Amino acid sequence: MRFKLNTLIGASALALLVSGCAAPTAQSTASAPAPAVAVAAAPAVAPASVQPAATLPHVVVLATGGTIAGAGASAANSATYAAAKVPVDKLLAGLPELGSVARVSGEQVFQIASESFTNDNLLTLARRVSELAKQPGVDGIVVTHGTDTLEETGFFLNLVVHTNKPIVMVGSMRPGTALSADGALNLFDAVSVAASKDAMSKGVLVTMNDEIQTARDVSKLVNIKTEAFKSQWGPLGMVVEGKNYWFRAPVKRHTAWSEFNIDNISTLPPVEIVYSYGNVPPTAIQALGQSGVKAIVHAGTGNGSVPNRIVPELQKLRAQGVQIIRSSRVPAGFVLRNAEQPDDKYDWVVAHDLNPQKARLLAAVALATTNDSRELQRIFWDY
């Protein structure tokens, strides 16, 4: 693993040399031409803008695994690699530039690929984030995470962690061992944003590909490019060389503004998703109904449409007290109440613009406090 890390550092040093930013090594000055003009002597005292480390904000990096901790057999392997291999101390050691933006400490919460996350993983992580956010000596928190379910974990933290401090989710689409790996800059950006006062009270954020997204809106919409995360409502801003450029702020309830609190959640009720398509049979819905689900999120076609042969199956479950939430398999737009489906008549809830996987989490958190469908609908408008 150290060899891989050396490659990583080697690659970043090479990049610096090529860009002309690094101080030339002995052999390179021997061949370098004499400068045409005298170079001003280096200032005797560090410029006022360089803060000594002790005064820099303290950011805690909670590592959970994923590609950002991945390793491939060669630098040419940008898509073939093992996720969740590099421990947090090596991730941080490979990025000494972090010391220019924050005092960073790291914790290894999990070491897993995020497609394998469970509700228990979400609860454990949220509890640790909440504990750290309460500590006066912690100014911001970064969570390194696999990209597959990063949007789900980020949305869950957005709903249940009561803090105004920056919480920033970050992942990568290529392992750190690959050519043009994206993880190092994504992580630098995440720590830089988490150390920023102007990132406070904006909810849980996601820094990927130079953009600052809100965990509520963003989704992994491309499964093999570094520009993978997008939101139909756009990013909140960009982070460039450690500076944040904001263009909008969230309007939906989140974090300290949320009525939900991880400190009061011991478990998440079972809420599952059924995916709709032409010819879909009622099998999955019937099986879930028998499994004791508290709610079903229906990932409908178009504006959350439900096939006529499936409506009676959902009505049966609603009559047994199971909440029915209409979402859509279409990634953009939002589901309109009482449009093609009489939600008032069926006593169903619409997920608004939340995709099925986020609707599942909001329903689970909400059902820990209420089973009233009108209250559920209010919650889907507010979050």
Look at residues 342, 300, 296 and name the one whose alpha carbon lies nearest to residue 320.
296
Using CB under 6 A, pick the residue from 53, 115, 135, 372 that binds ligand DAS.
115
Residue window 144-183: x/- pattern of binding to ligand DAS, with contact defined by CB under 6 A: --xxx----------------------x------------
217 near ligand DAS, rule: CB under 6 A: no
Would strands 323-328 and 349-350 be described as parallel, antiparallel, or unpaired?
parallel
Residue with the CB atom nearest ligand DAS in the bound state? 146
**Site track 59-98 with ligand DAS (rule: CB under 6 A), x = hit:** -------xx---------------x---------------
Report how far residue 229's alpha carbon sits from residue 221's, in angstroms, rounded to the nearest whole number. Answer: 6
The CA distance from 15 to 117, in Å, is 35
From the CB of 93, what's the least distance to ligand DAS, in Å?
20
Q: Which is nearer to ligand DAS, 117 or 348 (CB)?
A: 117
Nearest in space to 158 (alpha carbons), one of 184, 124, 126? 126
Say if residues 114 and 142 touch (Cβ distance below 8 Å). no
Q: Which is nearer to ligand DAS, 28 or 118 (CB)?
A: 118
Given the complex with ligand DAS, which of 68 and 199 has the nearer CB atom? 68
Q: In what order do the strands lie in the sheet with 103-112?
A: 103-112, 58-65, 140-144, 167-170, 205-208, 211-214, 237-240, 243-246
Q: Could you tell me the two tokens for 67?
A: 């590609």
Task: Supply the minimum distance, in Å, between the C-beta of residue 262 and ligand DAS.
Answer: 22
Look up 67 and say whether it is catalytic: yes
Shortest approach of ligand DAS to residue 279 CB, angstroms? 30
> Which of residues 70 and 356 has its CB atom nearest to ligand DAS in the complex?
70
* CA–CA gap between residue 190 and residue 194 (Å, rounded): 6
Task: Kindly list the catalytic residues.
Answer: 67
Contacts with ligand DAS, residue ranges (CB under 6 A): 66-67, 83, 113-115, 146-148, 171
